Each structure stands twice: as structure tokens, then as C-alpha cells.
Structure 1
Amino acid sequence: MQNLEDLFRSFETGIRSIKATKPKEYLNSLGLDYAELRIGFNSGQFHHNKDQQFKDRFEALGVLKKSDAGVQKSTMTPYTVFGRYGVIFPLLDRENTIVNYFAVRFDLNTPVEEYLNTQGIYPSYPHPLTKKLYMVPTVIDAASLIQSKTLENKDAVMALHNGKLLPQHIEAIKTLNELEEIIIIKR
């Protein structure tokens, strides 16, 4: 694993694990199907038994942060893992490369939603021939709309970043030469 793409593939494998019953139950409660959408599960253990160079790469990406938590061996460095024990959604850049993650840490008293950074768009940059664009406040809203199968040919959906329109959203909209309508869905 070298980057966010490789790591996400391991998260996709994680959600398919027989042991991943709680994340599957959580997604089912939202009406989301990991077999139809790109969704992964981060158990928080991807860095275990890896060398320091591996950990340094993911620390540079912000997925790992050094922690002051106790560890079994004094030679080990403890880390906090982004989106630990959470379902993970990928955000893409213009080239359809994963540049960000949206995580829902569902197993806490109050679920926590977080982004790794401010880059990328979920589910992806809309196709240039998009005629109708749905703008929704969150990644979960976008995934729900996709899962509902109500989008027609030449429709697209784009999740805002916690309800905020960022420069990449504006840039993406400007590339839609056939755009006829933007539908903004609010909560």
C-alpha cells in the first residue's frame, strides 16, 4: 500500500470480511449497499505489523497521527488512525484518483462524521454532459440518492463538504457544458 487508493482497496476488502457485521448492519440501517457503492471499513489496524517507512507515508497523508497512548513495547510508536472503526467513502479528484476520505465512526455513543482533508468530490466529478445536477449537503445524502436509483441518464449528484460549497465544486460545475438545472437539496 502506497497511497489512499491502495489503502481504500484494503478498506473495501475489510467491509466484505465475515467479521465486519457491525459496519454492514450500520450501512443496512441507512439503506446503503457496499456491493453497489464504493464503501469500505477501516478497522484501524492497517498499520499494524508494518515498517516505519509505511507508517511515515500514511502519517504524511494524515491517515495516521502519533499519539501519546500507552503501548505494550516501549520501542513502539502509538498512532491515532483517521476514521478508526468507521465506514469510509472515497472522494475523487478530476482524474478519478482518491484524494480524500469521508468517515462515519458509527460505533460511538454519538456517530462522528469526519473528512481527512478538504480535497475531492463525492462520488466523483460529474460527467461534462450532465444536464441535471443534484447538490446535497453530505456524502451520506449523495450515497442515498445514488442508491435510490432515481437518477436518470445525464443526471449527476455532488456532495457538498458538510454543506459547504468549496472551490472544487465550483470548478466542476463550470465544466458542465450541457447543464440545464441545478437542484439543491437541503436538510
Structure 2
Amino acid sequence: MKNLNEIFQSFEAGMRSPKAVKPKAYLQNIGLDYNTLRIGFNSGQFHHRVSQELKDHYESMGLLAKSNAAVRDDSMTAYTAFGRYSITFPLLDVSGKIVNLFAVRFEMASPIEQYLNEEGLYPSYPHDNTRRLFIVSNALDAASLLQSRAMENREAVLALHEGRLLPQHLEAIRSLHELEEIIIIKN
């Protein structure tokens, strides 16, 4: 069964597809480069042409939800995919494993941001030697700061989860024994 690491790798491959014109244009418009950051494109089709067992697995992970949408055959089940047609970012646990996804559905009238669950941190847990920690509103802001290369060697960034500080944020901050300064950047 595929885990979130494998799913996200398929999203990264999707971003590199020649057909991913709109997500690449959106990233260019907001100044992010998928070649420097881990950013994927979820077309919402990851569940097409897979077994029912795999669809059930995706449903248990929260990646799919049954839908009442019309289908061409009564024997088929319609699904709504998490973050359909979105750029996606991976959230990691303390060991560096992808445990959550942050999606920006950019084709909506107003882009919609959503998380798969409440686990993990973006871009990752800060290194133990972090002296200065930047806390930003969301993954897009964290990605922008990372890409800017404005941070120095012993600096790190953490994105809040829908503007909230979760227990894993506090755990990560408490583990930073050389931390001297926290800078909160609000937009």
C-alpha cells in the first residue's frame, strides 16, 4: 500500500509533467520554484485506474471521500480527492517522514488552503542547533522564506497550522536548547 511519501513523490512527478502548465504558472506568479523546494501538483487523479483496495486505503488516509456525484455506471463509486487540482507541500514528523499534506487549490475564485490532518511540521522539525526561529502564518510564507536564502546557518522556519500553534510546534520549540530568539512574521 502506498504511504504519504509515495503519494507525494507522485505529486512531485506531476509538477514536472509538461501538462502541469497552470500549477507552474501559479508558482511563478507567487515567486516559488518547484526545482528548489519540495512542491507537488495534485491533479486529483491519483485514484484513477487503481484497485478498490487501494481506493479504500486512500479513503482511510483521508485522501479520498465518497461523493454523490453522478457516475456513468451504477457499479462505480464517485470520490472527491483531497486537494484536487492543487499545489502541495509535505509536512514531516520528527524523523523526517511525510505525515501530512498542505494543499493550495489555486484554481478557485479565492485560493483555498487545506491540510490533510493535524500532524507534522512544515518545512520540517528545526535542527537541534537552531538559535533563531522564524514562525510564519503558513507553508507558502515558509517556502518563500526558505527560497529567499535569507536565513543563516543556525536559523530555521516553522509554518503555523491554519494560523495555530499546535502541540508539535511547542514540542519542537522546547527541544531547541540553543534557541536565543523567536521571530513571528505575520502577514
Answer yes or no: same fold by TM over 0.5.
Answer: yes
- Name structure 1 gaps, 5 residues minimum: none
Alignment of 1:136-151 (within 5 A): 136-151=136-151
Matched with 1:39 is 39
SS at match of 1:9: helix
SS at match of 1:8: helix
Shift of 1:138: 0.7
- Indicate whether 1:6 and 2:29 are aligned: no
Matched with 1:70 is 70
Task: Give the counterpart letter for 1:87 in structure 2.
Answer: I
Matched with 1:16 is 16
Alignment of 1:39-118 (within 5 A): 39-118=39-118
The CA distance in 2 between the partners of 1:43 and 1:176, in whole Å, is 38
Shift of 1:172: 0.3
The CA distance in 2 between the partners of 1:58 and 1:97, in whole Å, is 18
- State the aligned residue count: 187
TM-score by length of 2: 0.98
The CA distance in 1 between the partners of 2:178 and 2:111, in whole Å, is 39
Matched with 1:182 is 182
- Indicate whether 1:131 and 2:138 are aligned: no
- Name structure 2 gaps, 5 residues minimum: none
SS at match of 1:152: coil
TM-score by length of 1: 0.98
SS at match of 2:135: strand
SS at match of 1:110: coil
RMSD over equivalenced CA pairs, Å: 0.7
